[in-house]
């Protein structure tokens, strides 16, 4: 009877409830942390072709996304221990300081290699911020209140999709592309101030075991090795790196299962568990969506001769419609319906990749924009429920691990996805540093980009099976 009453109360949760019971400042903190990450992502993505045109780096462009994601993994994996040792507020301070340092490297970079270094430091900072935010979200927002809060963060992504390309265009016009990095000096300061007022300082710092580097180093090294395939064309070299990475992942996961300071949720190793399914969906989507969309801004600029700001807006459509999709299903409160929306979202994403291949082949801008819209809707329909499922079926410390490790896993997949895009682009001869924009010509885009999309369409197909593995009923206790 108690559980039924709780279910009714959770069903009646409203969006304004995230601002009640002392949660208003905390909600604002999460919005600032996630929002700054989102705006920065869209702004840098928009100016990347301009950076390459200015200082070169076409063949290593993917490292800008890959190293950012790679270092975000490290930051995210250390967040549980960092928060336990120094508290949430000091963790926010540290992340803000690192964001400013990384932005200085990127903003004053004379070569693309230094830009990549700056992006790596930024990624470490963002890994801490995002994982910390999700830990706080899982601790504070229960049941359907969690769904509402994830819906709020979806709106943040929509706003970022609008602000990011516009900010990139304005900053590039007045301060060159370097302004998109240097503006983070202000962002980092704002995060620190927000944390001072909104995040409680731990009165008693909890004791926590040190990170187990027998686990951490093999896994991080494996993802790093995978990123290097983006620069290779020889089949034997690629196969060698894949085998080495697989071996290191095996070593890391084996050490994790026997570690005294575990970082990964135990249920992750059970392929039938909802946690494992949620993580697998996240990993597959992050890998192939990142690979599929990495060159979108350059595609639009090259194939349809559209200026930087407008190209940024067009390629931000997935984020905008991600928010539309999330809000359209945020009031869905039954587990059965949520499971169906996960399936609908995955099918929409899968079909959007096929539409993109056709649009690039026929040079059809309306069809390309339709594919981006469908991609965003699909991401929105499934994301809030996949995130909820990843923590809904576990308790206590396991919930902390499941919440904190989802962003690093997402980043690992994004890093590999960026490298995969570089690998396929190089081996299809899409990349041409001698092209006017330093990347590729319109003919090369129309000839080879559709093949990339078709490949990712095929590789993404197995994801359609995963939702059917999820339990047909929710956990007994509503969380």
CA distance 32 to 29: 5
CA distance 298 to 211: 40
CA distance 80 to 84: 6
> Would you say residue 423 has pLDDT above 50?
yes
Mean pLDDT of 209-232: 82
472 burial (CB, 10 Å; 0-12 / 13-18 / 19+) is exposed
Q: Which long-range contacts (CB under 8 A, 24 or more apart) does 29-32 make?
A: 29/92, 29/133, 29/136, 29/194, 29/195, 29/198, 29/199, 30/133, 30/136, 30/137, 30/149, 30/153, 31/152, 31/153, 31/156, 32/190, 32/191, 32/194
> For the segment 233-271, what is each residue's pLDDT rounded down to a tens digit?
888 888 999 999 999 999 988 888 877 777 788 777 777
> For the segment 388-406, what is each residue's pLDDT rounded down to a tens digit?
887 777 777 777 777 777 7
Compute how many other C-beta atoms are within 10 angstroms of the C-beta atom of residue 14. Answer: 11
Mean pLDDT of 62-73: 87
> Could you give the angle at the alpha carbon of 390 between the alpha carbons of 194 and 283, nearest 5°?
90
For the record, the structure tokens of 82 come out as 């960092």
Instruction: State residue 8's pLDDT score.
Output: 35
Instruction: State residue 6's pLDDT score.
Output: 42
Instruction: State residue 202's pLDDT score.
Output: 58
Q: Which segment, 48-57, 134-143, 279-288, 389-398, is predicted with the most confidence on average?
A: 279-288
> Would you say residue 461 has pLDDT above 90?
yes
Instruction: State residue 387's pLDDT score.
Output: 81
Place of tokens 């339990």: 471
| Residue 332 confidence class, pLDDT cut points 50, 70, 90 | confident
Instruction: State residue 477's pLDDT score.
Output: 54
CA distance 10 to 384: 16
Instruction: State residue 133's pLDDT score.
Output: 79
CA distance 289 to 347: 13
Q: Which segment, 139-148, 340-349, 429-438, is predicted with the most confidence on average?
A: 340-349
| Listed range (52-61, 233-242, 383-392) with the worst mean pLDDT | 383-392
Sorted by sequence, the CB contacts under 8 Å of residue 120 that are 6+ apart come out as 67, 68, 70, 71, 102
| Residue 167 confidence class, pLDDT cut points 50, 70, 90 | confident
Mean pLDDT of 206-223: 75
> Would you say residue 425 has pLDDT above 60?
yes
77 burial (CB, 10 Å; 0-12 / 13-18 / 19+) is buried
Mean pLDDT of 60-84: 84
> Would you say residue 210 has pLDDT above 70?
no
> Would you say residue 4 has pLDDT above 70?
no
């Amino acid at each position: 009877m108690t559980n039924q009453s709780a279910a009714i109360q959770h069903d009646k949760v409203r969006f304004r409830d995230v601002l009640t019971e002392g949660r208003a400042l905390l909600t604002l903190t999460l919005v600032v942390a996630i929002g700054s990450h989102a705006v920065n992502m869209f702004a840098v993505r928009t100016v990347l072709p301009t950076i390459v045109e200015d200082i070169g780096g076409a063949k290593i462009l993917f490292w800008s996304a890959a190293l950012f994601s790679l270092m975000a993994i490290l930051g995210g994996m250390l967040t549980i221990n960092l928060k336990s040792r120094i508290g949430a507020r000091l963790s926010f301070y540290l992340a803000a300081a690192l964001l400013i340092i990384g932005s200085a490297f990127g903003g004053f970079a004379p070569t693309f290699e230094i830009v990549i270094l700056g992006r790596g430091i930024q990624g470490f900072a963002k890994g801490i911020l995002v994982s910390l935010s999700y830990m706080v979200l899982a601790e504070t927002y229960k049941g359907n209140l969690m769904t509402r809060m994830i819906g709020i963060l979806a709106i943040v992504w929509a706003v970022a999709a609008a602000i990011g390309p516009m900010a990139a265009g304005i900053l590039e016009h007045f301060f060159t592309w370097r302004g998109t990095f240097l503006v983070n000096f202000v962002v980092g300061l704002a995060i620190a101030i927000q944390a001072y007022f909104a995040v409680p300082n731990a009165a008693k710092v909890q004791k926590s075991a040190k990170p187990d580097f027998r686990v951490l180093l093999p896994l991080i090294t494996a993802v790093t090795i995978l990123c290097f395939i983006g620069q290779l064309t020889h089949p034997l070299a690629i196969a060698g790196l894949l085998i080495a990475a697989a071996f290191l992942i095996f070593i890391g996961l084996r050490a994790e299962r026997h570690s005294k300071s575990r970082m990964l949720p135990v249920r992750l190793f059970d392929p039938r568990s909802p946690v494992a399914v949620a993580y697998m969906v996240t990993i597959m989507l992050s890998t192939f969506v990142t690979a599929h969309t990495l060159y979108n801004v350059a595609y639009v600029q090259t194939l349809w001769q559209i200026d930087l700001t407008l190209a940024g807006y067009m390629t931000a459509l997935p984020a905008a419609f991600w928010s539309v999709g999330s809000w359209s299903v945020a009031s869905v409160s039954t587990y059965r319906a949520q499971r169906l929306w996960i399936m609908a979202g995955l099918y929409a994403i899968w079909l959007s990749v096929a539409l993109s291949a056709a649009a690039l082949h026929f040079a059809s801008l309306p069809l390309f924009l339709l594919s981006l819209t469908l991609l965003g809707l699909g991401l929105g329909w499934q994301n809030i429920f996949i995130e909820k499922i990843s923590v809904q079926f576990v308790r206590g410390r396991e919930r902390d691990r499941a919440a904190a490790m989802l962003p690093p896993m997402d980043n690992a997949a994004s890093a590999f996805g960026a490298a995969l895009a570089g690998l396929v682009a190089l081996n299809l001869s899409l990349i041409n540093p001698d092209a006017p924009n330093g990347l590729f010509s319109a003919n090369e885009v129309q000839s080879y980009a559709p093949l990339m999309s078709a490949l990712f369409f095929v590789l993404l197909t197995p994801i359609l099976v995963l939702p059917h593995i999820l339990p047909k009923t929710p956990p007994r206790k509503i969380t």
